[in-house]
Amino acid sequence: MKKMKKIIGLFIVCGILIVFVLNAGCAQDANDHNYTYRVVNTYPHDSRAFTQGLFFADGYLYEGTGLNGRSSLRKTTLHTGRVLKSVELPKEVFGEGVTLCRNRVIQLTWKARQGFVYSKDSLELQDTFKIQTDGWGITFDGTKLIVSDGSNQLYFLDPDTYKQTGRISVHDNNGPVKNLNELEYVKNKIYANVWRTNDIVMIDPATGEVSGRVNLEKLTGMSGGDTSYKTLNGIAYDEKNDRLFVTGKLWPDLYEIELIP
């Protein structure tokens, strides 16, 4: 009987150890795609700019700002934040995301469901178009435009006709990831600000699966931001020099960060 109890006891201990190891492995897997970061450089940013879109091209930052009567598209210098060129949007529209598509700058608007097309060099308005959803974020992967509308959906648009050609549902292990906002295409992933959080998520463009996440709460605090109004919103990638920039609405600073697994 004592021998049997010892055997049962050994089985129980082994079982506990197996569960512990499996749980530890699962926890490690869950954290494999989480990132921290370090701040490489800090640059000045217009604290009056309600940032809705951002991208980097040819050594300059292009920024779309929002709010009715204050929406604009602007070209700025990285190191000084000085506005070199600016275009004001009609007072009745709320500016949203911006992206570079070949030699055109595309800017979305929120409820108007209207897009504006500008010359990259002169910022001269060349065209307008309609979209089927509200406009939040936009980016270009080299073949198609990718648009967010504040839900967990991302929409693919033809870059010449601006017609919708497909969509994906963004999700992680806990289900749909909603409130997707400003977008940037980085190393074959879609980076997205999640509105009213301090998170940027990395999305597989084929499946919609969130494959990575970084929390920038400390940067929000450093810039006097919050998760209700002065939110983290703005991702730009310098592909040539492999630099990642982030900022937020009404933030006085723009940060170059390095992601660390």
Show me where the domains of the chain are located: 40-260
What are the pLDDT tens digits along the chain (261 aa)?
A: 544 444 444 444 344 433 333 343 333 334 348 999 999 999 999 999 999 999 999 999 999 999 999 999 999 999 999 999 999 999 999 999 999 999 999 999 999 999 999 999 999 999 999 999 999 999 999 999 999 999 999 999 999 999 999 999 999 999 999 999 999 999 999 999 999 999 999 999 999 999 999 999 999 999 999 999 999 999 999 999 999 999 999 999 999 999 999
Would you say 216 and 246 are in contact if contact means Cβ atoms under 8 Å apart? yes
pLDDT at position 24 is: 37
Specify the pLDDT at position 105. Answer: 98
pLDDT at 33: 82
Res 203: pLDDT:
98
What is residue 142's predicted lDDT score, i.e. its pLDDT? Answer: 97
pLDDT value at position 258?
98
Quote the pTM value. Answer: 0.87
Q: So what CATH class is 40-260? A: mainly beta
The residues with which 36 forms a beta bridge, in sequence order, are 260
Cα separation, 37 vs 35, in Å, equals 7
